[in-house]
Amino acid sequence: MKKYNPENQPKAWFFLLPSLGVILLFNIYPLLRSFWMSFQKGSLLKLQYTGLDNYQKVIADPVFHKALLNTALYAFAVVPVALLISVIIAWIIFEKIKRKSFFETIFFMPYVTSTIAIGIVFRYFFNGDYGIINFFLGLIGIPAVNWLDNVNMSMPTLIIFGVWTSLAFNIIILLAGLRNIDPEHFKIAKMFGATDREIFWRITFPQLVPTIAFLSTVNLIGAFKVYTQVYALFGGTAGPANSATTAVYYIYDKFHVAGRPGVAMAATVILFAIILFATFLQNIYMVLTGLMTYAEATSIPPSFIPSEFKFSNYLEVFSRAPFLRYFGNTLFVSLFTTVATVITSLLAAFAVTSLQFKGKNIVMMILVSLLMVPYESIIFTNYQTIAQLGLLNTYVALIIPFLTSIFYIYYLNGYLKGIPSTFYKAAKIDGASDLEYIRRILVPMCKPALVTVGILTFIQSWNSFLWPLLVTNTKEFRLLNNGLSAFTTESGSDVHLQMAAATLTVIPILLIYFVFRKEIIRGVAKNGIKG
């Protein structure tokens, strides 16, 4: 075991400091603050200790019971169904299809598409009067279903939506796992006359088990944090009579609507304990519907192609809401966040990979542990921090919590470990400083990983919704998804205009995805979970 070099001590902490500062302020502190707030009552400005009262209220609240039941139903329905479908699709692409890159691109599209935008499309699909799903059900003799306004159909509708939004990431990770299986195993099996079915069950599936286990864990954690899907599908509500309330939706409602932060934090702690215990077609249709007249968009049977392309819909969208302002805000925030995340994550990854210093193992243990923390469990204490600093309705509020990423530090750490340490030693012998080594040697050698981090960070920032919803309440600082959500309410029943607005939010990020799709998929696949 290598001993730490005392000379590296100050340098290591220097490189770690930018990331650790942000992590300390917006990850560790809010965790501790959230836990303490769970024992307090009153408004944010007048909190006082109340012991276990909040926990007793949450545990006794039938709405919370319903939220937990809905969350569990969603998680244990969406995760296995989505994984099963993903395994089948990934195996078919891997074994039966020659032009794999095309289908990889198609199936990864929902991952880069805003959930809010997809939600608008699915609300249209599920509409009881003119939705496409009821139209196709009618063709086979099944009566129309009231998907969105029936209390009994809220959760099935949400589960269908959740399965769809889960497929993209699962398929790409599974394809990465399939590529990591030694092809000699398949050749030998075929030489002995094994059928495709035998090859799958005896070779492919056993070696995919680690990948499936990883995806099961990640998806289950994500499913217990479901919020945006509910908001997007039911237009800012939790379904009719709150029938689709989930745990995170309950927490958000208690904190931001009911004004009971203590109860919200208690529910957060409980949810966190439970967690520890335990999109091509629609985009095309969205674009086409955005070019239809209102009559065509709401016609039965549905119109798939507009009789006349109504580009004037987009002009009307811009006249009704300042989408150019939303676009500029989103672009600025996304670019700034991306650059900062790439720099701070690289510096931190370099420190924990190339430098030996006291406390290194502790730092890594904390970072890995924090990966398990759902962001929704600390988002409200982060909000309080921003409010206390007087930063609400500012660009700083939108940017500062995301100046680094624990996940990408971990990702780059794995990538940098593949670079021989001799490069660093040779650079030091030649008199290069650590910053020179990073700039001249490390950056060029890990450019694919940095590009991947940059692109995925940009996509995540572009599609952000919940945090901007909390810290901004004026049109001046709205981001695209928040502006889109507000527009769907303000525009009333003008479905065609809502589709046009959704298209405006999706097209830029899809263009970025198509330009850099190879880099994204290559970066994900390179660090894919090996079977």
The Cβ of residue 395 has, within 10 Å, a number of other Cβ atoms equal to 14
Range of the domain at 151: 39-289
User: What span, in angstroms and rounded, lies between the C-alpha atoms of 466 and 248?
Assistant: 11
Q: Which residue has the tokens 């650059």?
A: 339
Q: Which residue has the higher pLDDT, 156 or 449?
A: 156
Model pLDDT for residues 357-387, shown as the tens digit of each residue: 788 888 888 887 787 666 666 777 788 888 8
Query: What backbone torsions phi and psi does residue 290 show, to the nearest 5 degrees?
Result: -65, -15
pLDDT value, residue 331: 92
* Range of 192-201, 307-316, 458-467 with top mean pLDDT: 458-467
Model pLDDT for residues 417-455, shown as the tens digit of each residue: 878 888 888 888 888 888 888 888 888 888 888 888 888
What long-range pairs does 309-316 form, CB within 8 A, spacing at least 24? 310/496, 313/496, 313/497, 313/500, 314/290, 314/500, 314/504, 316/497, 316/500
Q: How confident is residue 523, by pLDDT bands cut at 50, 70 and 90?
A: low
Question: What's the structural domain count of the chain?
Answer: 1
| DSSP letters spanning 456-504 | HHHHHHHT--HHHHHH--SGGG--HHHHHHHHHHHTTT-HHHHHHHHHH
Model pLDDT for residues 322-352, shown as the tens digit of each residue: 888 888 999 999 999 999 999 999 999 998 8
Question: Does 280 map to a domain?
Answer: yes
CB 503 within 8 A of CB 181: no
Question: Does 104 map to a domain?
Answer: yes
Question: Does 274 map to a domain?
Answer: yes
* Range of 65-79, 194-208, 511-525 with top mean pLDDT: 65-79
Closest-CA residue to 262 (of 43, 26, 469, 30): 43
Residue 356 exposed, middle or buried by CB count within 10 Å (0-12, 13-18, 19+): middle
- Give the pLDDT mean for 291-309: 75
Percent of the chain scoring above 90 in pLDDT: 9
pLDDT value, residue 105: 66
pLDDT value, residue 1: 42
Question: Does 515 map to a domain?
Answer: no
CATH number of the domain encompassing residue 68: 1.10.3720.10
Question: Does 428 map to a domain?
Answer: no
Question: Does 294 map to a domain?
Answer: no
Question: Does 278 map to a domain?
Answer: yes
Assess whether pLDDT exceeds 50 at residue 157.
yes
Question: Does 416 map to a domain?
Answer: no
pLDDT value, residue 195: 79
- Give the pLDDT mean for 146-156: 89
Q: How confident is residue 103, by pLDDT bands cut at 50, 70 and 90?
A: low
